Structures are given as C-alpha cells and as structure tokens.
Chains A and B, each alone.
Chain A
Amino acid sequence: MKYPLSILLVLLFVTGCAPMMAPVSGPPSTPSAPATLPDDEPGGVRGDVLGDVIVPSSPTPERASNSAVAQLVADAWEYNRVGEYDRSNAVVERALRINHTEPEIYLVMASNYFAMAQLQLAEQLARQGLPLAGRNGAVKRDLQRLLSQIISAK
C-alpha cells in the first residue's frame, strides 16, 4: 500500500503542474491584418488573445552604456563639483537627448537643482530617475538618498 501511495503522490505533483484545459495551439502570433483596409476604427475586431506577447522589458543597465552619454554625464558631474550647475544641466541635457532612459542623467540634474535650492524640480527629477534605475544599484541608492535629502530640506 505504501508503494502505490508514493506513485500517486508523484503523479499528483506531476499532473498539478500540467495544463488541464485545452492549451493554446502553437506560440502566440500576431493576427494578420486584412490586405487593403488595415483595421476598423473605432470598434475594431476582437482578435486572438495573445497571452504573454506584451511583457515587461529588462531593467536598464546600471551605468550608462553609451560612451557619449557616459562622457557627458562625467563632464556634467565635473561642472556640478565646481558649482557650475546651469552648465552642468546644459551638458547632461545633451545626454538626455541621446538616451533619456539613463537614470544617472536625472541624478545629475536633481543634484544640480538641489544645489540651486530648486527643491521642487529636484524632487521631481529624482522621482523620474528612480523607476529607470532598476531594482538595485548605486544610482538607485544615490537617487533615494538624494530624494530623502530633498524631502527633509523642504
């Protein structure tokens, strides 16, 4: 009795992970559109359910991947260090044009505005950078730290 019970438990485990309803046939596909008129508007036709075609993207790398952006961010930090905040912002905005998803760009701008006592804008920019900074990493920590400083200064 002990042996069949073990088999039953294994089977129970295996079948618990298997789909019991009719599976979607084949991989998710993009529905083909009519050849002439591309779609109906505004009603549209309810197409196939695509399952998980729309999925979140991978987090942005922690540090600037583009060498031009990295250079501009480094230059902007230099200007920040010597107190040339407006020039620092002008430089880092060039990086923003190249890739606005680099979180360190927002860290530089927020730091500049914080130094210029423009706390409201500094806070907003820090908040804008945070979701781009991934789940961990130095930039995220710096953004969080700066945000705390800004909030306590307000």
Chain B
Amino acid sequence: MAKTRGGEKRPGKRKGNSRWRWLTRLFWLSVVVGLLFLLALDAVVYQKFTGKKWSLPSHVYSRTLELYQGLPLSREQLKWELDSLGYRQVAAAKAPGQYSVSSRRVEIFSRGFEFWDGSEPARLMTLTFAGNSVSGLVDAKRVEMPLARLEPMIIGGIYPAQKEDRELVQLGQLPPALVEALVAVEDQGFYSHHGVSFRGISRAFVANVKQGRIAQGGSTLTQQLVKNFYLDQQRTLTRKALEAIMSVLLEIHFSKDEILETYFNEVYLGQAGERSIHGFGLASRHYFQQPVEELELHQIALLAGLVKGASYYNPWRHADRAQQRRDLVLDVMARQGVISTEQAAAAQKKSLGVVSSRSGGGRWQYPAYLDLVKRQLREDYQASDLETEGLRVFTNFDPQVQRKLERRMVSRIENLESGYRITAGDLQGAAVVIRVGAGEVLAIAGGRQPGYAGFNRALDARRPMGSTIKPAVYMTALEQPSLYTLSSQINDTPISVESENGEVWQPRNFERESHGQIPLYEGLGHSYNQATAKLGMDVGLPAIINTVRRLGYEGSMRELPSLMLGAVEMSPLDVAQLYHTIAANGFYSPLRAINSVFTAENVPLKRYPFAAEQRFDPTVMHLIHYALQVVLREGTGKSAYKRLPQDLVLAGKTGTTNDQRDSWFAGFSGNYLSVVWMGRDDNGKTPLTGGTGALQLWTDVMSELDNRSLVFNQPEGVSYHWVETDTGLLGRKGCAGSRYLPFIDGSEPVDKGRCVPEPLDNVVDWLKDKLGW
C-alpha cells in the first residue's frame, strides 16, 4: 500500500517507482547480458578467424616428369602431359603455364615448383624430338640443359566425411582483376563500409519491392563470409541480425584484406561428384585446370559470376546461363571502370574455356592407385590428419603408363571375351606396373573398367598364384649349387604325395603327358608340374616357404605340397613384390607408391626413400634370370616375342590355376615389371591359360612402354659352359643338344658327354670320313 505525503503510504507512486526501478534493472540486466553475449560472440568471431579456419583434405600428386635428352617421350605425349597440367597452347610461350608447338619442337614456359631436393624455377625451354624421343633440350638462350622437370599433376585427395575441398590461396596470388571483379559484382562499397552497408540494404529493399520478389541481396562480402563461415543457411530475422553484428565485429578486428582473403578461400564454387569445391584456388583448377594466377579476364569473370549460384550457373550443365552471367560481370566491370569496354567486349567474344567435365568436374580418375596411396599413408598418419591437415602427398604414379595400361586392359579383355566366347562382362582383370630397380609403383588397374572406384582387384583380389610361384621352387634348388644346376636332370614323371591328413596329392602336367628326364631349366621354362613337384619335395617345403618370404611375401602360407604349384593366394601387387626382388637381382625393395609428403604450408614432412636389402646371391639370380628368359624364348611365354622386339631381353612366368580359373603373367624387362591377372569375380572357370590370357595383356602393355633390355651381366662366380641338355654332361658348341648354360663356379659338370671327342677319336673319325669306311 502506498504512503501519503504526511507519512501515509501513496500506493500509486510507489507502484510506479517500483516498476521504473524494475524496468531500469531490466534494462541494465539486458545491457549486461547483451554485452556478455556480444563479448561471447566477439570471442567466437575472433577465435575462429585467427585459428585453423578449415579442415583441409590432403591432395595427392603424380610423379614429376623429368625432361632430358634421350627421354623416350613423343611430342604428342608431352602435349598430353602439358594439357593435363592445364598449360595453354599459344603461338609463342611468354608466361608460365604456356607452350607452343611446331613440327619438331615444343617450347614450354614451365611453372616453378618446390620439390624435396630444391626448387625448380619457372623457365622457358625448348625440346626437339627425333621419332618418339627427346633429342634436345635448350633454355631461353639456346644453351643446352642437362635436364628440367615439370610440376606434378594433382590426381586425387583424401577427404573427411563432408568432402569439402579447397586449395588455399593468398590475396597476393590472385590476379588483381579477380579481386576487382568480385568487389564490383558482389559488394561495390566493400572498402568503405564497416561490415554492413545500409545503402546496400536500402537499394536491395527498393529493388525487391519494385520487382515484387527477392531479386537482389543487400549482404556485403563480410556478411556473406560470416554467413558461410560462422552460421547456417537459415533465412530468419534472428540469423540476419546475428550476421550483421558478427560482420561488424569481424571488421573491427580484421583488415579488409584479411576478410577478403578468407572470403576467396571460403566461398562455394561448384561440385565434383561428392566433393564440394570451395575457394577460387581450387575452382580455378576445377574449371580450367590452371592455377588461379594464370587466369585470363574471361575466366576471371566466369568465376566471379559463379559466386551468385555455382549450381545455377554451372558452365557444363548450363553453358548459356553461365555465359550470360560472365558477360554481365564483364559489363559491370566495364561500367565501374575496372576494365575498358574494349577489354570487356574482347573477353565476351571468348568461349567459356572450361575443361571437359570428365577431366575437370568429374570424379578423380585413378581410384585404384589412390587406394594404395591411402593404405601406405595410413601406416604413418592418422586418418583424421590425412583428412584435415591439408598434406601434399607426392607419389610415383605415372599418368602416361596408367593411360596405356587402362586402354590396353579394356581392348584386350573385350577381345578375349569375343575370341573365346566368354559372356560379355564376365571376364575381369587387374594389373600393376612397377619401375624396376627403384621399386616404384607406376600404375594400377583395379579392374577392367578405368576409373572405377569399386573392388580393387590389384590389391584385394587374393587368388591362387598358380605357376607364378615356381621360380621360388627353382631358386631354392639353385641356391644349393652342389646339388642343383640348370642342367641337372630332374624327373617329369607321375608323383604322389601323401599329406599328413592322409590325402594323396597327384599333380599332373597341363597336357596330361610326362616328359621323363629333363634339364632343370626346362622344368621352369615349360612349367612342368610333375618335375616342379618332385624338385620341390626334394628341396623341402620349409625351404620353399622361406624363399617366398625372402622374395617379399609377408602373408600366411600353409605347408602343403600344393603350395609348390601355387596354392597360395596373392594379389597382383603381392606377386609384383616377389617378382621385383627377382627383377632387382635378388635385392628386396618395398614397393612404394609414395615419394614424399609436405605440409599444407609446403614444408617437407617426410620422404619415402629408396631402400634395398640383399636377399639372394647374384649368382643364383643370374641362373634364375636365365631360366625365366627361357620361358619367354621357348616356353609357355614365347608368344610375347611375336609382338615384342627379338633383341629385347625379357624374363617372366605364366601361371594358370585349376580349371583355368586364374590366368597370370608376371614378367619384366630392364626397367619395367608388370603383373597381370585375369579371371572371374565368381571364381568360375575360364578358357584362358596364363599364356592365352594374362600374357596377351602383358605383351600389349609392354609393347607400349619404352623397355630396355634386362641387364644380364655375368656376375663374378658364374661361368658359362656348353652342356648336353639330355645328359647334363659337358657338351660343345655346335653339337646338337648342346646348350650354353651358366653355372655357379664349381658346380659345372666335369664329365664329358658324347659331344666332347677324345683326341684319338678325332683322328680315327677323320680317317674314316676321308677313306669312306
């Protein structure tokens, strides 16, 4: 009850004061809460902007192309490489990222690049060609250069679940016209407002009222950045108010350039399958396969125009819309004096200039290889780091080899299906190509369909390796030179082996025939099962398993007699690891897909150097190389030489499993090793052997590569002797049945065969011949 002036309570006034007091309190409380909210908001704005702004996916690069005199690379192949890297063909190369072509020359203005071992400057160079190789390399002053290299191409990335992709750029990297174009079309008052432009809002309001729909937005670039960077996409008044407050806060703390740079990296500019393309750096590569620094005016205008709606103005799906938008941007730029009307008109005459949607806008093209890269990376990095730290992963992937492999895989499988009346689509294949010596994985086909990102047969299809295991059996024997040589006589006769569980194993030769006593090298050359099984039982299963281990296989193997004929399941990559040890003269080097890893800031992080470990003696390797050459010259792989040069020294081995379910070939030249598998995913029968299936694709692929002959130097401790192949005794040059075979010193035969005459026999035979007796 209110008191009166004389001390009595005055209820009305007291009530009014109390209300006022409460209102005042409420006001101050609101002010305090508002300030606290503002402070909290400010902290959010500040911390996110100064912290790690984005989760950056890792990007994976191909090998770098080394250019030098004698490089086996045709003019067309170089042109393909340059086009893939986004170089522009011009009349005369004058700036990085350009090249020109004449009948025998290619002039390149390369882009600079930071490699592990140093930086490669951007420079002008001219390559001349003779046939399919580089015959000369000179710099801008026509001075001969020993070598130069092009930057690697991006072949893929490793993404988090939301698959947001971007390539960070700094404001200084951007062409000034791009910055001007964006400001001109999105926020003309950017450099004068403080985050919110009331003039812009009013203008948009009037325009929208006039048109009776939302035709114009009043958001500044800062507001757009706040909306994308901090807030969700809801269109409510509360969110709009929040956006305005945060924009002002952002402008208080950070410079216009900092805000603009973040905007350039944040904005959504397109979609590539599941990947969303953010920022102008990646958008430039996505649409034009060029770094943003190299963009021309018409390209800049298109990108700036896409900010309004990357899907609506998608240049691949809606080329007309995209062109209209681009031309409008150019008009606006001209109206605002950023460019002249002549420049605008000239740019408007140009086509959109986007690359084909397959190379630019589609999925990554080499999923099988990326699969291997990811697996090898996960040995050293957490998945979360790979998906968010923006690592730059440089690999040994060779796009030229991959292209050839994929092309040949498609045509050969189709050819085999029609030739052998296999239901179209039933036959599958997988292959890997390795650089011999360096142990680098150059190309992988995970199936018959190029670019298919499903089941990777090259890595995951573990199938019985059949006779491709046989070199391990023969190497085990040849490591005991006192017992076995290439001319040792082994029995190719029926054999029965009883296993521990009582089962009897009776291997037979493919053609169901036995060949009796044969020299050891023929057992491998012709892939005789009975001879190999007998030899294997003599040397012992544990020793053979040990050999397979030393060759580089780390998986499980059961000690069963059938192991000797390939009853062990391996992937093509596993088989490649084994054969690389053979190709590298007995030195084991882990097969490497990755060359080096850099941080997002281009700081070298880790290199994956070459390493080697001697697992076999060079003398034994020389002998096995000999026997594996026999396979291709005379044995189960001889059809390869119908299409490969006779003077090219090659070695390899066919493999076929029971009921011809798997067709294998593993073989190598001096510089390339390739392993091919063919079969059916349901493990069904095929009409193919290793020779009629996998070997044919292997030959296709090898015929496309620049092979050098296998280095078959005679090592110390090995000597050659003429030997009678049917007796294993010493023979002589020119005698029928004699063969020139390598022996580990001390293991050569000492007894003379029928070919080596006693001196007196010579005289007697001569006299008989002369006298006609």
Contact = CB atoms under 8 A, between A and B. Distances in A.
Interface of A: 8, 11-12, 15-16, 18-24, 30-31, 33, 37-60, 66-68, 70-72, 86-87, 89-91, 93-94, 96-101, 109, 121, 124-125, 127-128, 131-132, 134-135
A22 B736 CA distance: 6
Contacts of B738: 49, 51
B131 interface: no
A68 B509 contact: no
A16 B762 CA distance: 6
Contact of A39 (B515, B529, B692, B742): B692
Contacts of A96: 437-438, 610
A57 B526 contact: no
Interface of B: 66, 68-71, 115-118, 146-147, 435-438, 440, 466-467, 509-511, 513, 515, 518, 522, 525-529, 584-585, 587, 596, 607, 609-614, 618, 622, 626, 629-630, 633-639, 641-642, 646, 649, 654-656, 670-671, 689-692, 695-696, 709-716, 720, 725, 732-740, 742, 754-755, 757, 759, 761-763, 765-766
Given A21-B736, A68-B69, A131-B585, A42 B638 contact: no
28 contacts: A12-B759, A12-B762, A15-B765, A19-B732, A21-B736, A21-B755, A31-B638, A33-B642, A41-B510, A42-B467, A43-B509, A43-B510, A43-B527, A44-B527, A49-B737, A52-B740, A54-B712, A57-B649, A57-B710, A68-B66, A68-B69, A72-B147, A90-B117, A90-B609, A97-B440, A100-B438, A125-B612, A134-B713
Nearest to B738: A51
Nearest to A130: B618
B630 A54 contact: yes
B146 A71 contact: yes
A42 B690 contact: yes
Given A43-B529, A68-B70, 15 more contacts: A11-B763, A21-B735, A38-B692, A38-B696, A39-B637, A39-B691, A42-B655, A43-B510, A43-B511, A54-B629, A87-B118, A91-B117, A97-B66, A124-B614, A135-B716
A43 B754 CA distance: 29
A17 B629 CA distance: 30
B639 A48 contact: no
Contacts of A11: 763, 766
Q: Which of B610, B630, B739 has the most CB atoms of chain A within a 10 A radius of its CB? A: B610
A33 B734 contact: no
Contacts of A38: 638-639, 642, 691-692, 695-696
Contact of B146 (A16, A19, A70): A70
Contacts of A100: 435-438, 671
B689 A40 contact: yes
B609 A93 contact: yes
Contact of A68 (B147, B526, B626): B147
Given A11-B766, A12-B763, A37 B713 contact: no
A125 to B, nearest CB: 6
Contact of B437 (A30, A101, A121): A101
Nearest to A41: B689
A49 B146 CA distance: 46
A78 B637 CA distance: 46
B714 A56 contact: yes
A12 B466 CA distance: 54
A127 B616 CA distance: 11
Contacts of A16: 757, 759, 762
Contact of B720 (A39, A56, A60, A70): A56
B654 A41 contact: yes
Contacts of B612: 121, 124-125, 128
Nearest to A45: B526
Nearest to A25: B736
Contacts of B510: 40-44
Contacts of A58: 713
Nearest to B760: A12
